[in-house]
Amino acid sequence: MSNDEVYATGLLNRALDPACQPPEIRDFLQAEIDFLDELIADGMAVLDVGCGTGRHLAILQDRLRLGVGVDYEHTYIVAARRRAGAHLHFVTGDATRLPVRASFDVATCLTNTWGTMSDKRAVLDEMRRLVPKPGTRLLSVFAESSVAARHEWYRRFGHPVVGESAEYLITEGGLRSEHFSEARLRGLVGECAIRPLAGIAYVVTF
């Protein structure tokens, strides 16, 4: 089963249920929101790649001039549209060929979404195409220190880990979720700034 097929089963909704989240994961999810709160200024246009059900743009919408979220899983986009204000737009599409032409102030790919994607460099290229200014494109990804917390998180939402390597976990349900060292991130992303987040993750700006 591919990650696309796994997410189509509604995995995201279970993963975001606070009852399924160990404290380390809850702290990470809140740290992402706190980081965005500091980064995003009034009047910005923000692109969220792999937006899921649109929760990050929904939190920010009162200060955004424009928010666009893209996700390949149409059921998540349908859910995102239910919470969209007039200046939020959600589109079903491929992160390696984003169906968007506008330019944005900031592009994000959050909650280790990039760590579940197969063609990571193509996603980065699309983020660079739509947000040409360096330092305004943002990834949040799991660090190697996240492994124990993710074992527990995945077990709680019905995906116990059955395989582990230095770079990824694989669950019984077929989810393949990667984690990163700083050196690996620099090798994949190129020139970037890396900041620890909540003890189990990194924020990468490029």
Q: List the pLDDT tens digit at each of the 206 positions of the chain.
A: 687 777 877 788 899 999 999 999 999 999 999 999 999 999 999 999 999 999 999 999 999 999 999 999 999 999 999 988 889 999 999 999 999 999 999 999 999 999 999 999 999 999 999 999 999 999 999 999 999 999 999 999 999 999 999 999 999 999 999 999 999 999 999 999 999 999 999 999 99
Q: Is residue 76 part of a domain?
A: yes
Q: Is residue 14 part of a domain?
A: yes
Q: Is residue 2 part of a domain?
A: no
Domain count, the chain: 1
Sheet containing 88-92: order of strands: 88-92, 64-71, 44-49, 106-109, 137-142, 201-205, 193-197
Residue with tokens 């995201």: 12
Of 141, 95, 93, the residue nearest 115 (C-alpha) = 141
Q: Is residue 112 part of a domain?
A: yes
| Structure tokens given for 157 | 């939402």
CATH number at 17 reads 3.40.50.150
Q: Is residue 175 part of a domain?
A: no
Q: Is residue 167 part of a domain?
A: no
Domain limits at 63?
9-144+180-205
> Which helix (H) or strand (E) segment is 176 a member of?
strand 176-178
Q: Is residue 31 part of a domain?
A: yes
| Burial of 175 per CB tally in 10 Å (0-12, 13-18, 19+) | buried
Q: Is residue 162 part of a domain?
A: no
